[in-house]
C-alpha cells in the first residue's frame, strides 16, 4: 500500500514536472523562431545562406553532446531543416553535384541521433533500476522498523496484561475514570 502510494506520487510529480518543462520549451522555441525570423528578414541571400550553414554546422557539433531526448529531437529537426534550406538555395546544377553530400549529412545526423537515443534509453532504464532498488531498500527498512515497533508494543501489552492480572488477583479494583485503585495493596 505504501509502495503504491509512493509510486503514484512519484508518477504525478514526474508528469507535472514534464508538463512545466514542455511549456517552457515551447515558449523558448517560439521566442527563438521569432528572433531568427527578424534577424533573417534583413539579411541578404548570401548572408542568410552563410548564417544557415554556420548554424547547421554548429548544431552538428553540438548533437553528440546532448543527452535529453527532446533536445536531441529538436536539434535533429533543425539540422535537417537547415540542410534542406541550404540544398534548396543551390542552383539546379549545384544541387545535382552536391545531392550526395547533403544526403550523407542527413544520414549521419540520423545515425548519431539514433545512437544518442539508444544511450538515453539505456541510461533511463539503469536509473529506474537504481531508483527501484533504493525504494525496495527503504521499504524493507520501514518494514523492519514497523516490525520492531510492533514487537515493542506487543511486549508492552504483555507487561500491561501481567500488571492487570496481578491487580485482579490481589483483589484491587481499578476505577478507570478516576485513575485510582481501591482495596488491597499494590505489589509488583
Distance in angstroms (rounded) separating the CA atoms of residues 123 and 125 = 5
Query: Model-level pTM?
Result: 0.56
State the helix-helix crossing angle for 69-89 and 45-62, rounded to 10 degrees. Answer: 150
Distance in angstroms (rounded) separating the CA atoms of residues 26 and 142 = 42
Question: DSSP assignment, residue 182?
Answer: E
pLDDT per residue rounded down to tens, the chain (188 residues): 777 877 787 887 788 788 888 788 888 888 888 888 888 888 899 999 999 999 999 999 999 999 989 899 999 999 999 999 999 999 999 999 999 999 999 999 999 999 999 998 888 777 776 777 776 777 777 667 777 776 777 777 777 777 767 767 776 665 555 555 555 554 44
Burial profile 150-169: b = 16 or more Cβ within 10 angstroms, e = fewer? eeeeeeeeeeeeeeeeebee
Extended beta strands in the chain, E state: 173-175, 180-182
Question: DSSP assignment, residue 67?
Answer: -
Nearest to 55, CA basis, from 39, 44, 67: 39
Please give the biggest Cα pair distance in the chain.
Answer: 117
Amino acid at each position: 500500500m505504501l509502495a503504491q502510494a509512493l509510486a503514484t506520487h512519484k508518477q504525478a510529480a514526474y508528469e507535472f514536472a514534464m508538463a512545466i518543462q514542455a511549456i517552457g520549451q515551447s515558449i523558448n522555441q517560439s521566442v527563438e523562431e521569432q528572433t531568427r525570423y527578424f534577424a533573417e528578414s534583413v539579411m541578404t541571400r548570401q548572408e542568410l545562406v552563410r548564417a544557415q550553414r554556420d548554424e547547421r554546422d554548429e548544431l552538428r557539433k553540438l548533437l553528440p553532446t546532448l543527452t535529453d531526448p527532446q533536445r536531441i529531437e529538436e536539434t535533429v529537426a533543425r539540422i535537417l531543416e537547415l540542410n534542406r534550406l541550404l540544398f534548396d538555395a543551390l542552383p539546379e546544377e549545384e544541387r545535382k553535384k552536391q545531392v550526395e553530400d547533403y544526403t550523407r549529412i542527413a544520414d549521419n545526423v540520423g545515425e548519431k541521433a539514433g545512437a544518442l537515443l539508444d544511450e538515453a534509453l539505456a541510461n533511463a532504464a539503469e536509473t529506474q533500476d537504481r531508483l527501484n532498488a533504493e525504494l525496495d531498500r527503504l521499504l524493507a527498512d520501514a518494514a523492519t522498523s514497523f516490525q520492531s515497533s510492533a514487537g515493542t508494543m506487543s511486549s508492552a501489552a504483555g507487561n500491561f496484561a501481567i500488571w492487570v492480572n496481578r491487580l485482579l488477583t490481589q483483589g484491587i479494583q481499578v476505577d478507570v475514570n478516576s485513575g485510582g485503585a481501591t482495596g488491597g495493596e499494590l505489589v509488583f
